[in-house]
Structure 1
Amino acid sequence: MEALRRIVSGRVALAASALALICTTAPGNAHAQSLFDRMPTIPGDWTITLGAQGKFLPEFEGASRFRFEPLPIVSIRRAGKAARFRSPLDGAGLSLIDIGGFHGGLVGKYKGGRDAGDDPRHLRGLGDVDATIEAGLFAEFWPRDWFRTRIETRRGFGGHRGFVADLSADVVVPVGERWTLSGGPRLSPADNKATAPYFGVDAAQSLASGLPLFNAKGGLHSIGAGLQARYQLTPQWEVRGYVEYARLRDDAASSPLVTRYGSPDQTTIGLGASYSFDIKLW
């Protein structure tokens, strides 16, 4: 546990330092600011945001070791409309209902698979788990302009075929003209079919891996919290950093894969940058 804390704290510090370096040097440096300001803006009816982010996350769900994963940032909205707040936990959503502070619609999320060859020491004999596309519905409500609650319910297709949900609440606070800070609690339940492929150990797997039999059932999958910082370099350029922490619960935490080889403490650290521009699509 102490080693995990040192790893996580070190990477949090690294991400925070990188974010602070970008945010403090670019706006304060006249040449750098001029460079950003000279980036072209294409007039049109839609605003497209493109970017990239990298994140450190557990090597597999329940692992104590980390891996690095690059990801694209892509979004589209009507020109002149402010970008809607997103937390790192959110799936990709398509809003179908927008009434006051309530929004609801379709949501999808990608969950990477687990390859036993990536960590043969700990995953030997457990087999691979395919990647999963999770599709479902979301609803979010803003009781205040600085406070958002959200729920997603999704069904898996691929590595698991169960039902999962993510419940979150975020306080969203602008700090000055450029900073936006946000954060709040998280809670994620999952059913049997969404839990067993990642945390269960059947007879064949037990024989091959040496782990005891374990019939992983659903329940409260994890509880946790998240913190995100966004910095608006220019009207087009934005940088962001975040930390999401989840504590595995119930059978996910009791799995021998976690108790022997991993940790119930799951931390993800991300840092990214994006550029927004207007364009006429049709």
Structure 2
Amino acid sequence: MTYAEPPFEVPSYEVQQAETFRNWTLVIGAGARYRPEYEGSDDLEVSPIPFFLFTYDDWLKIDPTGLEITAFRYEGFSVSALVGYESGRNEDDHDRLRGLGDIDFAATLGGRAAYEFGPLEAYATIEQTIGGSESLLGKTGLSLTAPVSQRLILGAKAEATIADDNHMQAYFGVDAIQAAASGLPEYQAEAGLKRVDISTSATYLFNENWLVRGEVGVGFLTGDAADSPIVEDDLQPSASLFLGYKF
């Protein structure tokens, strides 16, 4: 995808039942998201989203963003390996991108460290793109999961994203060739804090199988990302709704 935004992050205990003794869970479903057409756009679009979540014990998770393997866990602290992807960006996605060329789809490899204390989790991730933008992206954040009842779970998250020169130039920079083709001024985007995101969510369990989840959030592009001539609006809202079935 054009920018890192997990489709639906459903904490594992939201879909697990206390009476279930098997060590795996599977949730499949579909939903829709309302968000900018590209990172920095002021035009919003609705797009359908297929969804799946598979977990095995407390060490394996597979979802639309990729694969997470937890290699170490001790008293709330955990370290995981990440395998994912960066879907890139097509210049045909929006008129503002014409002449900037495409950013190719690429795989990502990285790691995640987290610490849970009660309903709160503090985490940090780092991922390297193999191909595509050939970039390094880091995130740090704090998430809260609060069960209101046996059926309703509320959540909140705040996250900051830091990117290296390659990522910033690929998505927000304009070189001489791109400037001539697009009509935009040349612009050099350098490494730094790229964006800050905050979001809230609600998950409702109809029964032991069916669940619905909604999320609203807003991102704030910062620094060289916000100042890029590619960016039409540094305020990036989003909303999503998802219906799932747990096996």
TM range (shorter): 0.7 to 0.9
**Match for residue 15 of structure 1?**
none
Aligned residues: 226
The amino acid of 2:35's aligned partner reads L
Structure 2: which 5+ runs fail to align? 1-19
**Match for residue 4 of structure 1?**
none
Q: How do 1:97-136 and structure 2 match up within 5 A?
A: 97-119=72-94, 121-136=95-110
Per the TM alignment, residue 175 of structure 1 is displaced from its structure 2 partner at its CA by 0.9
**Match for residue 116 of structure 2?**
142
The 3 A distance-change label for structure 1 pair 45 and 256 is closer
Q: 2:25 aligns with which of 42, 47, 52?
A: 47
**Match for residue 36 of structure 1?**
none
SS at match of 1:193: helix
Contact 1:159 1:197 in 2 (8 A): no
SS at match of 2:230: helix
Q: How do 1:207-226 and structure 2 match up within 5 A?
A: 207-226=180-199
Per the TM alignment, residue 57 of structure 1 is displaced from its structure 2 partner at its CA by 2.1
Which structure has the larger Rg over C-alpha atoms?
1
Q: Deviations over 1:96-155 (max 9, x none)?
A: 112121122112343332221232x31221111222332200111112x21111111101
**Match for residue 68 of structure 2?**
93
**Match for residue 25 of structure 1?**
none
Per the TM alignment, residue 67 of structure 1 is displaced from its structure 2 partner at its CA by 2.6
**Match for residue 210 of structure 2?**
237
Distance 1:271 1:170 in 2: 19
The amino acid of 1:139's aligned partner reads A
Per the TM alignment, residue 91 of structure 1 is displaced from its structure 2 partner at its CA by 6.2
Q: Deviations over 1:9-65 (max 9, x none)?
A: xxxxxxxxxxxxxxxxxxxxxxxxxxxxxxxxx996532222223212211111111
Higher relative contact order (CA 8 A, sep 6+): 1
Distance 1:250 1:219 in 2: 7
The 3 A distance-change label for structure 1 pair 159 and 268 is farther
Per the TM alignment, residue 181 of structure 1 is displaced from its structure 2 partner at its CA by 0.7
The answer to whether structure 1 residue 70 and structure 2 residue 43 are counterparts is no
Distance 2:66 2:237 in 1: 18
Distance 2:35 2:124 in 1: 23
The answer to whether structure 1 residue 255 and structure 2 residue 242 are counterparts is no
**Match for residue 153 of structure 1?**
126
Moved over 4 A (4+): 42-45
**Match for residue 246 of structure 2?**
276
The answer to whether structure 1 residue 204 and structure 2 residue 177 are counterparts is yes
The answer to whether structure 1 residue 265 and structure 2 residue 239 are counterparts is no
More strand by share: 2
Per the TM alignment, residue 78 of structure 1 is displaced from its structure 2 partner at its CA by 4.3
TM-score (norm 2): 0.83
TM-score (norm 1): 0.73
Distance 1:226 1:94 in 2: 25
Distance 1:244 1:112 in 2: 21
Distance 1:56 1:268 in 2: 5
Structure 1: which 5+ runs fail to align? 1-41, 278-282
